[in-house]
Amino acid sequence: MPADLLEKKRTGRREAVRAFKREAILQAARKIFARDGLDGATLRAIAAEAGIAVGTVYLHYPAKESLYAELLAGSLADLQKHLRDAVTRAMPDDQLMAGALAFYDFYRQRPDDLYLGLYLGQGLRPAGLTPELDRLLNGRLIQCYTVLSDAMRRQVPSEAPPLDADMLRAETVSLAAATGGALMLEVTGRLKVLGDTGKAVVRRHVELLVQRLRAAS
């Protein structure tokens, strides 16, 4: 085999091994973060879960916060795709409801992702993250909310004036808060005690929201 092809093959194997180890570390980190939280997690515990030396973890990730950031960035990318797919499949009048319920269902079915996402807004100050990671993750989150705000715009007739930007922003924030609150109340069992469900709460919020949007137009 020619030397250049042999070296290319070796490089491919090294990259495959590196990718395999990174994925093993990420999956181990997800388990440790779910069990211990970000504050309680350590790279040593993550290494033990992955079955590799802690020094190998440091070669890929210098700190647990960089691991957290990569996991959350991937989760938010999955969320954005999930929202876009749900909105695209729905008729224009149903897109806001479809998007809001897709947001709710995504986190209801993936509670570990919910806990990862909640840390992003811990005290409105994600401790341990660099400003660059903070901006990256919040930017990804805003992209997800933009899918919902775009669906809000389509709730008004095309011939009507566009929705006021301040109202659109306020209603997007309210929808995010209502959905997040419904998730937290449901996963902690509070809504069951009250005889309600998170999905029903989200549906009612969106129904009233659509009424407000159409009245404003």
Model pLDDT for residues 63-110, shown as the tens digit of each residue: 888 898 899 899 999 999 999 999 999 998 899 999 999 999 999 999
| 0.95 surpassed by pTM | no
- Mean pLDDT, to the nearest integer, of 42-49? 94
Check residue 128 and give its pLDDT: 58
Same domain for 72 and 41? no
Mean pLDDT of the chain: 86
Which of 16-25, 92-101, 113-122 comes out lowest in average pLDDT? Answer: 113-122
Banded model confidence at residue 37, pLDDT cuts 50, 70, 90: confident
Per-residue H/E/C for the chain = CCHHHHHHHHHHHHHHHHHHHHHHHHHHHHHHHHHHHHHHCCHHHHHHHHCCCHHHHHHHCCCHHHHHHHHHHHHHHHHHHHHHHHHHHCCHHHHHHHHHHHHHHHHHHCHHHHHHHHHHCHHHCCCCCCHHHHHHHHHHHHHHHHHHHHHHHCCCCCCCCCCCHHHHHHHHHHHHHHHHHHHHHHHCCHHHHCCCCHHHHHHHHHHHHHHHHHHHC
> Are residues 75 and 49 located together in one domain of the fold?
no
- Judge whether residue 12 has pLDDT over 70: no
- 175 vs 122, more confident: 175
Q: Which range marks the domain in which residue 20 is found?
A: 1-62
User: Do 2 and 42 fall into the same domain?
Assistant: yes
| Same domain assignment for residues 53 and 80 | no
What confidence category does residue 8 fall into, taking pLDDT thresholds of 50, 70 and 90?
low
Please check the confidence at residue 125 and state whether its pLDDT lies above 60.
no
Residue 122 has pLDDT above 60, yes or no: no
CATH of the domain at 185: 1.10.357.10
52 has pLDDT over 70:
yes
Indicate whether 39 pLDDT > 70.
yes
Instruction: Please report which confidence band the pLDDT of residue 207 belongs to, taking 50, 70 and 90 as the band edges.
Output: very high
Q: Are 45 and 148 in a shared domain?
A: no
- 84 and 133 co-located in one domain: yes
Question: Are 42 and 123 within one domain?
Answer: no
> Do 21 and 86 reside in the same domain of the chain?
no
Tally of structural domains, the chain: 2
